[in-house]
Amino acid sequence: MIFVLESLLAKEANIRIMDSTMLEVCKLQRADHHKVAASIAEFGKNHQGWHFGFTLHASIDVKGRLCGLSLTPASQHDAQEIPHLVNEDTKVVVGDGAYNASVMREIIFRKYGTLIIAPPHFKQRKKIVAKWQMMLLMARPKIESVFDYLKNHLSLVTSFPRSVNGYLFHYLRVLISYQVMVGGGF
């Protein structure tokens, strides 16, 4: 299934939008007693608060097709996963403030020649933005709608699996079905 999903990704996309979303394996109050994914799931925090589980890092193209994916424990920072979401075909990536890390931006630019566009940090008073950069930043909510569809319509987040392999199988089948639905393959 990993091979099938890998072959369905829109890897040739020049412009990508990236973000991450939390995938809870159980409610926070049950995390200390959770046994199924306890060996690999971790605590993570985002703007919504604390979670126990995994983080799905994804990049999409402007049509909403998945381009790059990475599944990590919830404690993994977004910027660390940028190398898994881009490739040599990627010229511009749009992300939120978590992708504003200057060191990783320089590494990605040197390795792939990819420009990362993210909103300025709230402490920055002034930052000059070109009109095309502003248009790309305004397209960033598109990935939020992809995550919403994956979670609320395809039930990506679940606590039903009874093994780590069960979680992986569930995530893979949901991601493959989404990619086929949006025209990413076959």
Decide if 45 is inside a domain.
Answer: yes
Decide if 183 is inside a domain.
Answer: no
Instruction: DSSP for 48-66, please give it.
Output: TEEEEEEEEEEEE-TTS-E
Q: Among residues 101, 108, 115, 97, which one has the least CA distance to residue 16?
A: 115
Q: What is the rounded CA–CA span in Å between residue 20 and residue 159?
A: 19
Q: Quote the pLDDT of residue 53.
A: 84
Decide if 137 is inside a domain.
Answer: yes
pLDDT in tens, 149-166: 999 999 998 878 788 888
Decide if 181 is inside a domain.
Answer: no
* Total count of domains within the chain: 1
Domain assignment of residue 70, given as a range = 2-176
Instruction: With H, G, I as helix, E, B as strand and everything else as coil, classify residue 1.
Output: coil
Q: What is the rounded CA–CA span in Å between residue 95 and residue 136?
A: 10
Q: Quote the pLDDT of residue 184.
A: 57
Decide if 182 is inside a domain.
Answer: no
pLDDT in tens, 42-56: 788 887 888 888 899
Decide if 186 is inside a domain.
Answer: no
Handedness of CA 140, 72, 14, 64 (dihedral sign): negative
Decide if 60 is inside a domain.
Answer: yes
Q: Which helix (H) or strand (E) holds 152?
A: none
Contact 33, 66 (CB under 8 A): no
CATH of the domain at 19: 3.30.420.10
Decide if 52 is inside a domain.
Answer: yes
Q: What is the mean pLDDT of residues 133-153?
A: 93
